[in-house]
Structure 1
Amino acid sequence: MTGWDATIAAYLAVVVLAGVVELTGRRPGTATPTFGELVSAIATTLPGRIALFACWWWVGWHFLARSSAHVAPHLVDMH
């Protein structure tokens, strides 16, 4: 398994785990919060909002901005 494969497997594992936690949070009578409830609780404080912003920035940078050079290299001027 290459490093790329391990990275993809790790991200898939995180997504599956998040799905399991979300489904658990939607069961009646559970104390586990859903993703929306968790984000709402985090966003009630300034440090929480800054952390959420940093997380979204990281996701955007790693999956959206940097990927454009790999997907459409002819559209990115590297000079």
Structure 2
Amino acid sequence: MMRALAIGGFLTALLLFAAVEWAARREGSRIPSLADMCAFVMRYEVGPVPVGRIGLFGFWWWLGWHFLAR
């Protein structure tokens, strides 16, 4: 039961992500695409410190540690 619920949740999230990305890539759309959001995060700085890059690196580190380390 819980496995089916988890799989359904992930599939729903994937479909919503695809729908938003599709809407973002339509002509004249004001919704930013994933590439636009990633570019904004990578450029974000507070003074000389690249906070966006540090945050993205930390997120990838956490994701790898959380799901891949055993």
Task: Note whether the superposition's TM-score is higher than 0.5.
Answer: yes
1:41 alignment partner in structure 2:
40
Identity %: 31
Runs of 4+ in 1 over 4 A off after TM superposition: none
Tell me, yes or no, if structure 1 residue 51 matches structure 2 residue 55. yes
| Cα distance per residue 1:26-57 (max 9 Å; x no partner) | 00001111111111111112222222223322
Cα distance change of structure 1 residues 50 and 8 upon mapping to structure 2, 3 Å threshold: farther
CA–CA distance in structure 2, aligned partners of residues 59 and 34 of structure 1: 22
1:5 alignment partner in structure 2:
4
TM-score normalised per structure 1:
0.63
How many residue pairs end up in the alignment?
64
Uncovered stretches (5+) of structure 2, i.e. residues with no partner: 45-49
Cα distance change of structure 1 residues 8 and 23 upon mapping to structure 2, 3 Å threshold: same
TM-score normalised per structure 2:
0.69
